Amino acid sequence: MSSYFKKQFFIAFIYLIIFSAIGGGIFFGFVYSPASCQDGKLNQGEEEIDCGGPCVVCQEELLNPKIVWAKIFPVEGDLYDLAAQIENKNINHGTDNLPFVFKVYDSNNNLILEKIGRSYIMPREKKYVMEAVSLDSIPAKIALEFGEIKWQKFKLVEDLNLSIFDQSIDLNGKNNYAAFAKGTVYNKTRFDLATVDIYIVIYDLRGNAIVANKTQKDMMKSGEGKSFEVAWPKSFASDSSRIKTDMKAHTNAFSDANFITTFLEK
């Protein structure tokens, strides 16, 4: 090859390198965007867009518990039970300090009572809250509101298996009470529990709650079962086949006194 052609080949090669560099710069600078934690895309093993995996931990949008229903039940004389069913839809967060207030109104929409209470709720848990009150006026409706909730992330390493067996309803009445609900709660966790709360709600066949009650059992050892009984002074049904009973057992897994703080994520 003559020196002329060698020179022309060398010049063409230099131009090729220059144009390749310019084209690559345009592609990588304006067209190609490498995966990152700020690219607005779900990639590189992220759990959600730009979080999880190699990026920062995803922050759960924390929601107040959903109020499924709230009702007031006459007990006897000026005594009433305030009850509500609530549901925590947060996947990883619960709280051992759930402040709430029942607001009771008369038929003219006048506020006649505010009953403040506190409870706890686990992630993805549906439960009841209840308060007993005495009223000077006839109530017409109630509302449930929550205070400021300090959510805690909860690492559940196993199910909190609290089961209720031998459930029964006695509508015949005795000892000045019109009806009874009975059962046996079993602690099937591997922990000794300081307190187990038990809630009982009776529904009609259309799914409307008609009465509510609660009790608790203390110092339940792992594997232990304890019987319980609650009573109502006034009759609410004459035929047990026309009602449905919902009995739930819960425990506060956030409480140090309940001996299961290993579930808390440090």
Mark whether 132 and 223 lie in a shared domain. Answer: no
Tell which of 129, 153, 177 closes a domain: 153
**Which residues, including other chains, have CB under 8 Å from residue 155's CB and lie 6 or more apart?**
92, 263, 264, 265
Cα–Cα nearest to 76, from 135, 158, 23, 150 = 135
- Which element (helix H / strand E) includes 80? strand 79-87
| Pair (75, 145) in one structural domain | yes
Q: Are residues 128 and 99 part of one domain?
A: yes
pLDDT of residue 55: 83
Average pLDDT over residues 162-171: 96
In a domain, 128, yes or no: yes
Domain boundary at 97, 126, 153, which? 153
32-44 pLDDT tens trace: 456 778 787 888 8
In a domain, 146, yes or no: yes
CATH of the domain at 246: 2.60.40
Q: What is the pLDDT of residues 122-162, one digit of tens each?
A: 999 999 999 999 999 999 999 999 999 999 988 655 567 89
* 140/216 same-domain check: no
Q: Say if 58 falls within a structural domain.
A: no
Give the domain-ending residue among 153, 179, 207: 153
Q: Look up the domain containing 234 and give its range.
A: 162-263
Same domain, 139 and 199: no
Indicate whether 10 belongs to any domain: no
Residue 190 pLDDT grade (very low, low, confident, very high; cuts 50, 70, 90): confident
145 and 171 in a single domain? The answer is no
Please give the residue that has the higher pLDDT: either 84 or 159: 84
Number of domains forming the structure of the chain:
2
pLDDT at 265 over 50: no
- Assess if residue 144 is contained within a domain: yes
- In whole numbers, what is the pLDDT of the chain averaged over residues? 86
Residue 52 included in any domain: no
Do residues 246 and 200 lie in contact, with contact meaning Cβ atoms separated by under 8 Å?
A: yes
22 is a domain residue: no
Whether residue 199 sits in one domain with residue 138? no
The residue ranking higher by pLDDT, 136 or 60, is 136
**What local confidence, expressed as pLDDT, does residue 36 receive?**
78
User: What CATH number has the domain bearing residue 136?
Assistant: 2.60.40.3230
Same domain, 81 and 111: yes
Contacts of 81 (CB under 8 A, 6+ apart): 72, 73, 75, 130, 131, 132, 133, 211, 212, 213
Residue 117 phi, psi dihedral angles, 5° rounding: -145, 170
SS3 at position 8? helix
Does residue 172 sit in the same domain as residue 225?
Answer: yes
Same domain, 171 and 259: yes
Task: Output the furthest CA–CA distance in the chain (Å, rounded).
Answer: 122
Q: Are residues 166 and 259 in the same domain?
A: yes
124 occurs within a structural domain: yes
216 and 124: one domain? Answer: no
Q: What string of DSSP letters covers 225-259?
A: EEEEEEEESS---S-GGGEEEEEEEE--TT-GGGT
Q: Is 124 exposed, middle or buried, given 0-12, 13-18 or 19+ CB atoms closer than 10 A?
A: middle
